[in-house]
Amino acid sequence: MKFINLKLKANSYPIIFSDDYGDLLCCLKKYLNSKSVFLISDSNVSKIYLEKIINILKKEKFKTENFVFKAGEKSKNIKTLVEIYNYALKVGLDRKTVVIALGGGVVGDVAGFFASTFMRGLNFVQIPTTLLAMVDSSIGGKTGVNLETGKNIVGTFYQPKFVYINSNFLKTLEINHIKNGMGEVLKYAIAFSHKFFKELNLLPDKSIFTLSDFDNIIYKCCKFKAKIVEEDEKEKKGVRELLNLGHTFGHALETITKYKKYLHGEAVVLGILFVVKLANKIKFCDDDTKSNIEKIILNLGFNTKINLKTDAKNILSLMKKDKKSVSKTIRFVLPQKIGKAVSHIEVDDKIILEVIKDFIR
Ligand code: GLY
């Protein structure tokens, strides 16, 4: 078992890396004084793992309840939350119950929001089962749901008591979900580490990654993430915002396509392509940086073309609704060179529109 301690003023917690479910039980006993557990999962993950986890818990005399919702970003909404609140009341959960998110980013965000609001807050544990959730969304306490008009617009900061990462879950993950996670992995390399970027460039073809490649990638990303969250837990200092590289444009794409066309990581990769084009256009980054980023995106097997029936102004107006915008001015995170991104950059609307038009045509 390896772990990273994420240190915060209040609510520090460990990220545990282990392929032994015994370690999960130990952590539940060590960090949480309760035998009542409420598992939240989705229709894909639950088919493979829910019963297994429930059996492990039951052997140790945990009392379990569970709620499963339809897999996919479309379920990440207030309606799903209300169903969970009602179910939780019906089965008699109380303030001592521990909420466990068993799934990917959508499950973690919804379960975390539920845990942070039901009866004014229940203890919460993240068991991420996708690459995206292991490297990013399960860590740092962002929870929330989407509105039809905007992604992640309703949410809270609410830290889990611990995160249990077992890369064996990836054995059953489909290749498009591996790619989805690689979108967020790439974000860390571009924003924080040229060395990590080079390592990603050296990886074998993505279809033959081994679990040990993943263990290494996940651990490194969690180190980046923990450091950033420790510095700027509530995204107030412009530091955590660096993790939103590619997200403003990516979120607009997800919203405009009604959360149906792109997985989050795929949209983020298109968002990264967008900001590198924008940064290059205003001479914030040089041509080599742009072409190296474009190359790695192609090498990792991402689609780099956007085929949308919408106009650039629509996308721009959605981007202005992003949480990072202030007085309708978008504040971009732009790559300056590989391994260094900068937040809070304002760009003239005319230039943004030109880059969007070029990109979507
Ligand atoms: N996924 C970005 C963040 O946690 O801040």
pLDDT digits (tens, 9 = 90+) for 49-91: 999 999 999 999 999 999 999 999 999 999 999 999 999 999 9
| Confidence (pLDDT) at 201 | 86
Distance 60 CA to ligand 1 centre (A): 34
Give the mean pLDDT of 22-33: 94
What's the average model confidence in pLDDT over 146-174? Answer: 94
223, 165, 219: which is closest to 192 by C-alpha?
223
Q: Is 187 in the pocket of ligand 1 (CB under 6 A)?
A: no
Categorize the per-residue pLDDT at 256 as very low, low, confident or very high, splitting at 50, 70 and 90.
very high
List, as own/partner pairs, every contact residues 281-288 make where C-beta atoms lie below 8 angstroms and the sequence separation is at least 24, other chains included: 281/351, 281/354, 281/355, 282/347, 282/351, 284/334, 284/335, 284/336, 284/342, 284/345, 285/334, 285/335, 285/336, 285/337, 286/337
280-312 pLDDT, tens per residue?
Answer: 999 999 999 999 999 999 988 888 888 888 889
- Is the minimum distance from the CB of 140 to ligand 1 under 6 angstroms? yes
* 144 pLDDT above the threshold of 80: yes
Q: Is the CB of 112 under 6 A from ligand 1?
A: no
| Total residue length of the chain | 361
Rounded mean pLDDT, 116-141: 98
136 CA distance to ligand 1 middle (Å): 7
Residue 240 CA, closest ligand 1 atom number: 5
pLDDT at 206: 57
- In the predicted structure, residue 328 carries a pLDDT above the cut 90: no
**Active-site residue list:** 120, 142, 184, 225, 235, 240, 244, 247, 251, 264
Q: What's the mean pLDDT in 9-31?
A: 95
CA–CA dist 147, 103 (Å, integer): 21
Which residue has its alpha carbon closest to ligand 1 atom 2? 243
Which pLDDT belongs to residue 125?
A: 98
* 167-185 tens-digit pLDDT: 999 999 988 898 899 999 9
Residue 243 Cβ inside 6 Å of ligand 1? The answer reads yes
Ligand 1 centroid to Cα of residue 99, in Å, is 21
Q: Whose CA is nearest to atom 3 of ligand 1?
A: 243
Using pLDDT thresholds of 50, 70 and 90, give the confidence band for residue 207.
Answer: low
The per-residue pLDDT for 150 is 85
Distance 134 CA to ligand 1 centre (A): 12
What percent of the chain has a predicted confidence (pLDDT) above 90? 84
β pairing state of 340-345 and 332-337: antiparallel
User: Taking 90 as the threshold, does the pLDDT of residue 259 lie above it?
Assistant: no
For 323, the 3-state DSSP assignment is coil
Q: Report the chain's mean pLDDT, rounded to a whole number.
A: 94
Which pLDDT score, from 0 to 100, does residue 88 have?
Answer: 98
Q: How confident is the model at residue 209 (pLDDT cuts 50, 70, 90)?
A: low
What pTM does this model have? 0.94
Selection from 81, 93, 144, 90 nearest residue 119 by Cα:
93
Whether 99 and 38 have beta carbons less than 8 Å apart is answered as yes
Q: Which atom of ligand 1 is nearest to the CA of 139?
A: 4
240 lines ligand 1 (CB under 6 A): yes
State the pLDDT at residue 205. Answer: 62
Kindly give the number of the ligand 1 atom that is closest to the alpha carbon of 142: 4
**pLDDT surpasses 70 at 204:** no
Mean pLDDT of 326-352: 94
CA 157 to ligand 1 center in whole angstroms? 10
